[in-house]
Amino acid sequence: MLEGFTWFRQSALRFRGDGLTVFIDPWGTAESDGPADVIFITHAHADHYQPEEIERLRTPSTRIVAPRDVARELSGEVTPVAPGDSGEAGGVRYTAVPAYNVVEHRLEAHPKANNWVGYVLELGGTTYYHSGDTDHVPELDAVRTDVAMVCIGGDPYTMGPEEAGGLVKAMTPDLAVPLHYGFVVGSPSFAERFAREAAPVEVRTLEPIHPFELE
């Protein structure tokens, strides 16, 4: 279920399969990694939204899906979304889901009022949840997905390994994959903590293209 994925850094992923090249929050990509058929952006922070990389990867036919505040800054085939929106872009079916903080000391990092998102994407006949930056918020317990790809980096921005483990146990996916660690926040060892906390959900890790920056 992970064969088509490349992890660049943080939460930046590429999926190649079924004749499509799809990026989520591209950061750390090269021109040779594109061109993109579809680009999904979860929110406006610089470790998820890199306008220069988007311009390098896109073509005139590239579809972009992004929260409204990001979509306003982009031109071309751009679809603005908010939590709860569903649709299709470039052959990829998607649902935008909530992504925000509820832990008190993180509330200003990703306020609920921003309407930032994660996504459930249908790729190659499998559903994948990409969390964006979020805490374990109540609405996410109802998300059903084959693969849950979740942030685990912890303070001061997102849920940490323990909270993320609780989320995937509530979601009951077939597979869980940690993201958003080893670069800006979160030691690479967080992946092992996440695997323990997520049990009995199976956890697999991706190897990033760029070496981890944290110990």
On whether residue 145 sits in a domain, the answer given is yes
The total number of structural domains in the chain stands at: 1
On whether residue 139 sits in a domain, the answer given is yes
Q: How many CA atoms lie within 13 A of 7 on its CB side?
A: 23
Q: What is the CATH number of the domain that holds 167?
A: 3.60.15.10
Residue-wise pLDDT for 99-152, tens only, equals 999 999 999 999 999 999 999 999 999 999 999 999 999 999 999 999 999 999
Give Cα separations from 139 to 41, 78, 147 (angstroms): 20, 26, 17
Query: What's the domain range around 39?
Result: 5-198
Give Cα separations from 113 to 46, 57, 160, 196 (angstroms): 19, 30, 22, 33
Enter the tokens of residue 156: 């001061």
Residue-wise pLDDT for 61-99, tens only, equals 999 999 999 999 999 999 999 999 999 999 999 999 999
